[in-house]
Amino acid sequence: EVHKDFPEIELADMYVDNAAMQIVRNPKQFDVIVTSNLFGDILSDISGMITGSLGMLPSASIGAKHALYEPIHGSAPDIAGQNKANPIATIASVAMMFENSFCMPEVANEIYDAIERALATGVRTADIAKPGEKTISTTEMTAAIVACI
């Protein structure tokens, strides 16, 4: 239904199993995937693992009037309170909110750039570190990103 208002955007209908395969095979072919919550949860988990960690990807559930932004990993109750969660997906979810709900792409880009600059310094949380590489806490990664803004 929405596509008729945006004919310049390419639309490709796919079954979810094919979409999952295509994400693994050639993830760059996708800019946005519009799907139901159930299939979106499955496809976002697959996408997260391609990046190396579920802690890297933001997500958005966008309705006609409201939107919800959150990391694809959810609340990660297994590591709650341990200061070892990767905050990048949460911070990037805020960037998505600025871009899409607040129509402030310049703020979103500042946040995305800060994430990239922090990672370029070599800081890593445990989920994205190479074996034997020094890791930092949730708080330290957040501070590293904030310092780059």
Encoded amino acid at 96, one letter: M
Number of residues in the chain: 149
Q: What is the pLDDT along the chain (149 residues), one digit of tens a residue?
A: 778 888 898 889 999 999 999 999 999 999 888 888 899 889 988 988 888 888 888 988 888 899 999 998 877 788 989 999 999 999 999 999 999 999 999 999 999 999 999 999 999 999 999 999 999 999 999 999 999 99
117 Cα distance to chain centroid: 17
Q: How many CB atoms lie within 10 A of CB 2?
A: 9
| Rounded Cα gap, residues 40 and 110, in angstroms | 27
| Every domain of the chain and the residues it spans | 77-149
Radius of gyration of the chain (CA): 16
Report residue 77 CA to chain centroid gap. Answer: 18
